[in-house]
Amino acid sequence: MQIKLSALTRVLRIYQDHLYGIWPLLNAEELIAQIERNPHNPETHTLAAAICGATLSHLNQTVYDDSERKAPTLPQILTADSFAQQARRLRGTFDYMEHVTLNSVLTSYFLHIYYGRRSGREQTAAFYIREAITFANLLDMHIETTYLQPRWTPREQQVMRKLYFLLLMTERFLCIRYGLPTVLEPIALPSTDNEDYPDLVTGFLNLVTLFHTPGSDFFNKWTAQGTSVSLSSKQLLLIQRELELPAEIPQCANDIQKVDIVATQHWIRSLIWKLSIQSGYVAAQAQPGRREMSVSYPVRIAQDALSGLELLPISAFEVHGPGMETKIYEITDALADSILCQEPFEDSSGMVVGPRETLKGLSNLLFSTATTNSELRSTLTQKLDRVFESTSIPPVVENEADSVDDSVIFQNENDNCIPIEFSPILTPDFAALVSCSEDNIFPVE
């Protein structure tokens, strides 16, 4: 079935209105005009269909193909899969691998987005992002001088820079999530000059800055080659302090973009704390000028996250799919680990929200969203049960497979052992805990 331009147009405008802030790549009206001027160009149609598939999958919507209004039958319902199938079918009609264009990179990226929302299609999604990165490398998008070549119009140069950083951020997220190696390095940031929606692009650049701040070594540390990467406590401390500053969010940013910026900032902060523990830099008590290197620091991270997220609608979280679920999980998980690491204490009363109240708020937020990874929730449920010493926590779908016992022990200077669990979600083979040194440093993970 050939999807008509009317249906493509409807979905492209939905992308423009709701998702341009997180994928600020294409002007929907310009793309529609290109199709109208050259209706037989399969590459443009393929790109449009891929964008539509990604858009409907993210928003969990369908549309009607009512182009044949005189037909006696009911309008055809078009799903995200309908558009993705058309994109794949059309792509098979031309040699897109040997004749790489900017549209080739864009199409592979949006197919990655579509498959990233499909259950059980993680490897397919990973293939398409790798394909997009390969196409970007073949176009020399990683080389700064490429953007000075006359073959690219100023508009194309804008799209290329933004697309390059979307690929970089996606690759770095997958590096953390699955331990996949990274190949992309930052280039000069895009500019908001001559942008159709400069405020939305400003929000996008704030997100790019969050992924750029830790540096390549930080992300490489989560891969199988991470043992050859060294990060000092001073480096991690400086990165943490850069990310402590409140993220700048444009006033015109919609809730979808706000969720993305706030959650990403505190997700990376939580990962820095976990890596600091793994490297043996975290102390039982906060040292002067090094509170970021204390066992209790995730409380601060979680409180900052909750204050920035709790008033935003659940729908704004669910648009981001599995990636957002992972980020909120990691922030919550780090807080639970922090609480379990410390001696029992009572939460603060009055106007100050204590660690356990913050943990309840974040876990309630996570369990209020649609489940895309029940294993994460099962792992967190077990940890919450230990923190609150009860079973009055949100329900979760348990996996049929036997759960893995991730319990580990870490010792303090008095040899009082405090059991704590660390999720293996970030890397497949976490290092085991080792005993603390004489200066009361806790090497974990």
Average pLDDT for 303-323: 90
Torsions phi, psi for 65 (to 5 deg): -95, 90
Q: First CA to last CA across the chain, in angstroms? A: 52
Per residue in 71-93, pLDDT (tens digit) is 556 678 899 999 999 999 999 99
Give the single-character DSSP code of 147: G
Average pLDDT for 122-147: 96
Bigger pLDDT: 160 or 290?
160
Whole-number pLDDT of residue 391: 40
Cβ-based burial of 84 (10 A; exposed 0-12, middle 13-18, buried ≥19):
buried
Average pLDDT for 424-428: 33
Per residue in 261-295, pLDDT (tens digit) is 999 999 999 999 999 988 888 887 767 778 888 89
State the pTM of this model.
0.82
**Can you name the residues that pair with 294 across neighbouring β-strands?**
283
Distance between CA atoms of residues 341 and 438, nearest Å:
18
Whether 321 contacts 113, CB under 8 Å: no
Average pLDDT for 353-377: 84
Check whether 407 has a pLDDT greater than 70. no
Tokens (6 digits) for 380: 């967190």
* Those residues with Cβ within 8 angstroms of residue 12's Cβ, 6 or more apart along the chain or in another chain: 28, 31, 32, 48, 51, 52, 55
Tell me how many helices (H) and strands (E) the chain has: 16, 6
Which amino acid is located at 95 in the chain?
D
Per residue in 207-226, pLDDT (tens digit) is 999 999 998 889 988 887 77
Check whether 136 has a pLDDT greater than 90. yes
